[in-house]
């Protein structure tokens, strides 16, 4: 049975109502944790204000999301010290299966999967850091390059050496983290280009989830690639689509309200994300 791929799209302006870098960092950590809890495969960070240059916010959010998704033992090799990572220490650990604790060779087993990075390559051997006290020997792949991150499968464990081979994320039986995609094109353009089997937008102006749950369930179970689309703190999907001269209903299959009768004036993007994912998990995943 083919795994369902679930993507979440969040707007770049999700951090615009948070002035301090520390709070911005904490907010992205909250979003990453929510996505990891509910096994999201891809997080799309999209520009939602076409009249403004949001590349800086898109890059910032994407950087933090990628940093969080990277196992801790690889972060120093893959990320330079940047001002944007000043408060990375407050980010919560994801504790997903692709984030194992660093261990010794004896703790590794044939058939285990690890994320690794190629640290050296010559005619005799290709070595990869997989979070053990010694590098692993990468076999059957001469195309790997130094500093390349790879998903690896352990194929042999000796007393002083581990051998691994390149694997695909699709073959890993457990949830293996999310990928991050940046979109600076208009919402309509990238939605039409991606061609998801099912696209669901969220808005307080939309019908309640319960009112469309039956029709949504029918399409959900048939879909392989699903997108859950969220609006911005100050302007929802109806406003974002209107600015592009299109109705949001023309861009997505469903627009739903997952927080009906909300007790606050607004529901923040990260709050709507957690509420929506919890509902979908209960009705469709579990």
Q: What is the pLDDT of residues 163-196, one digit of tens each?
A: 999 999 999 999 999 999 999 999 999 999 998 9
Instruction: Please report, for the domain that includes residue 143, its CATH number.
Output: 2.40.50.140
Question: Is 100 inside any structural domain?
Answer: no
Instruction: Please report, for the domain that includes residue 207, its CATH number.
Output: 3.40.1280.10
Question: Is 163 inside any structural domain?
Answer: yes
Q: Are residues 117 and 90 in the same domain?
A: no
pLDDT beneath 50, residues of the chain? 1
Q: Are residues 82 and 187 in the same domain?
A: yes
Question: Is 243 inside any structural domain?
Answer: yes
Q: Are residues 124 and 78 in the same domain?
A: no
What confidence score (pLDDT) does residue 159 get? 78
Q: DSSP letter string over 146-192? A: TT-EEEEEEEEE-SS-EEEEE--GGG-SS----EEEEE-S-HHHHHH
Q: Are residues 164 and 261 in the same domain?
A: no
Q: Are residues 81 and 203 in the same domain?
A: yes
Burial 9-47 (b: 16+ CB within 10 A, else e): bbbbbbbbebeeeeebbbbbbbbbbbbbbbbbbbbbbbb
| 44 contacts 265 by C-beta, under 8 angstroms | no
Q: What secondary structure letter does DSSP report for 257?
A: B
Q: How does pLDDT run across 197-239, given as a tens digit for each residue?
A: 999 999 999 999 999 999 999 999 999 999 999 998 888 999 9
In total, how many domains does the chain have? Answer: 2
Q: Are residues 10 and 118 in the same domain?
A: no
Q: In the listed set 170, 195, 216, which residue is the last one of a domain according to the structure?
A: 170
Burial 169-204 (b: 16+ CB within 10 A, else e): eeebeebbbbebbebeebbbebbeebebebbbbbbb
Q: Are residues 119 and 251 in the same domain?
A: no
What range does the domain containing 122 cover?
Answer: 105-170
What confidence score (pLDDT) does residue 37 get? 96
CA atoms of 273 and 8, how far apart (whole Å): 9
Question: Is 142 inside any structural domain?
Answer: yes
Give the global pTM.
Answer: 0.94
Q: Are residues 139 and 25 in the same domain?
A: no
CA atoms of 141 and 177, how far apart (whole Å): 24
Q: In the listed set 127, 144, 170, which residue is the last one of a domain according to the structure?
A: 170
Q: Are residues 206 and 125 in the same domain?
A: no
Q: Are residues 165 and 281 in the same domain?
A: no
Q: In the listed set 125, 155, 170, which residue is the last one of a domain according to the structure?
A: 170
Q: Are residues 202 and 234 in the same domain?
A: yes
Q: Are residues 143 and 237 in the same domain?
A: no
CA atoms of 143 and 28, how far apart (whole Å): 34
Pair of tokens at residue 3: 């795994």
Question: Is 80 inside any structural domain?
Answer: yes
Cα dihedral 188, 189, 192, 196, rounded to 10, equals -80
What confidence score (pLDDT) does residue 1 get? 44
% of the chain beyond a pLDDT of 70: 98
What confidence score (pLDDT) does residue 235 get? 87
Place of tokens 């495969």: 41
Question: Is 9 inside any structural domain?
Answer: yes
């Amino acid at each position: 049975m083919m795994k369902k791929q679930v993507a979440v799209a969040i707007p770049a302006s999700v951090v615009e109502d948070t002035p301090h870098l520390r709070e911005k960092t904490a907010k992205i950590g909250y979003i990453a944790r929510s996505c990891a809890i509910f096994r999201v495969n891809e997080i799309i960070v999209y520009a939602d204000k076409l009249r403004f240059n949001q590349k800086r916010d898109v890059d910032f959010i994407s950087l933090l999301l990628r940093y969080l998704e990277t196992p801790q033992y690889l972060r120093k090799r893959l990320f330079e010290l940047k001002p944007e990572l000043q408060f990375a220490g407050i980010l919560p650990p994801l504790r997903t299966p692709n984030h194992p604790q660093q261990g010794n060779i004896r703790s590794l087993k044939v058939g285990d999967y690890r994320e690794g990075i190629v640290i050296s390559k010559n005619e005799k051997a290709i070595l990869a850091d997989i979070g053990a006290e010694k590098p692993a020997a990468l076999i059957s792949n001469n195309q790997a390059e130094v500093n390349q991150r790879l998903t690896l499968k352990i194929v042999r464990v000796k007393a002083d050496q581990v051998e691994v081979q390149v694997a695909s994320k699709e073959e890993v039986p457990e949830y293996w983290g999310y990928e991050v995609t940046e979109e600076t094109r208009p919402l309509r353009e990238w939605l039409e280009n991606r061609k998801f089997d099912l696209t669901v937008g969220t808005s307080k102006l939309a019908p309640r989830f319960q009112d469309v749950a039956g029709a949504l369930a029918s399409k959900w179970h048939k879909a392989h690639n699903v997108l859950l689309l969220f609006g911005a703190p100050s302007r929802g999907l109806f406003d974002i689509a209107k600015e592009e001269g299109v109705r949001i209903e023309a861009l997505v299959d469903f627009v739903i309200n997952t927080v009906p009768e909300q007790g606050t004036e607004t529901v923040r993007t990260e709050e709507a994300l957690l509420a929506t994912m919890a509902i979908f998990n209960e009705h469709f995943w579990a």
